[in-house]
Amino acid sequence: MKIEGVLNIHDLHVWALSSDHLALSAHIISNNPSDTMKKATGVCKEFYIYHSTLQVENSNENNIYNSNKCA
């Protein structure tokens, strides 16, 4: 959530493949998907998560997780 442009993260899962291999998957809502993907991948590497599946969705598209739609 500290990455500039990220508005929401959902379906975040982190698990251990072995004692020294972590995996992560997440859906991210962002107003700058390309930049967010690069930065989020970098954050994963900082935490030694080298297997990640990130789905970055544009905040301008219609989706039920867009935090701008919350009242």
Classify the phi-psi angles of 35: left when phi > 0, otherwise alpha if psi is within -120 to 50, otherwise beta: alpha
Asked whether the predicted pLDDT for residue 65 surpasses 90, the reply is no
pLDDT at 63: 60
Alpha-carbon dihedral angle through residues 38, 4, 8, 70, given to the nearest 10 degrees: -150
Q: What is each CA distance from 15 to 21, 30, 48, 62, 70, in whole angstroms? A: 9, 24, 12, 30, 30
Average pLDDT over residues 42-47: 95
Q: What is the pTM of this model?
A: 0.79
pLDDT at 71: 41
Average pLDDT over residues 41-63: 90
Asked whether the predicted pLDDT for residue 33 surpasses 80, the reply is yes
Unique residue bearing structure tokens 């789905």 = 55
